[in-house]
Structure 1
């Protein structure tokens, strides 16, 4: 079954580690066989990998973008996913993590990334729930605001 990619003007897509960029108009690209594909808009930057799930996503993304380095990342991502599985007690999130790991072992990295996106959203929700609202946070003090009494 062929995959049709509808590219927006100037949109980028990575296919088997090769960056392909569209020109100034919409274009449909058909990929007739299996390939590692990710749209430029789905690529996470390294500085965005600031939580455990995001770090796992970034490593799997690195496997997709650099097929030659995928072998060395295999054991790293397996350890990361095992830790995530034990950290998340929600059965649906555990199922998604297990499915992502199965996709990694099948070398279908894009599907693994797709499985982790809801886990990232769940993790974001947990982290945001733990942060106090902005007005309840302890205000930062600057050295000029601290007055010593004589």
Structure 2
């Protein structure tokens, strides 16, 4: 099934490591086969990777953007994800982390990133970040 990307004016998208930028009008691009794709607005900058979940997200993003990074960082990401899984007590967060791990193993990095976004929002709520969406507090079990 083809993927239709509707690009806004001047929007950037990375497809298999190649940065593509739209001109000054809306445009629809159709991708007919599997490709590693991420919109420019979804790309995290390195200085934003300042928490455990954000660091994992950033490394997976690098794997999506650069095939060499995928080969070099696979073991590191697996270790980080295992630690995240044990650190979060909420089953729904653990499920998302586990699904992200499955997606990484299948080299579907965009889906892995999508799985981690709610975990990132939850972590931001725990850290009381002012930019975080409203997320319920975690209950410490023990």
Please report the TM-score for the alignment, with normalisation by the length of structure 2.
0.90
Equivalent in the alignment of 1:10: 10
Unpaired runs of 5+ in structure 1? 130-150
Any idea what the Cα deviations from partners look like across 1:52-107, whole Å, max 9, x if unmatched? 00000000000000012211110000000000000000000000000000000000
Unpaired runs of 5+ in structure 2? 130-142
Matches within 5 A, 1:1-150: 1-128=1-128
Which protein shows a greater Rg? Answer: 1
* Cα distance in structure 1, aligned partners of 2:68 and 2:109: 13
* Cα distance in structure 2, aligned partners of 1:80 and 1:114: 17
Which consecutive segments of 4 or more residues in structure 1 shift more than 6 A? none
What SS does structure 1 have at the residue aligned with 2:56?
A: helix
Give 1:5 deviation, angstroms: 0.2
* Cα distance in structure 2, aligned partners of 1:69 and 1:43: 16
Please report the TM-score for the alignment, with normalisation by the length of structure 1.
0.85
* Cα distance in structure 2, aligned partners of 1:69 and 1:55: 14
* Cα distance in structure 2, aligned partners of 1:64 and 1:100: 13
* Cα distance in structure 1, aligned partners of 2:58 and 2:68: 16
What SS does structure 2 have at the residue aligned with 1:128?
A: coil
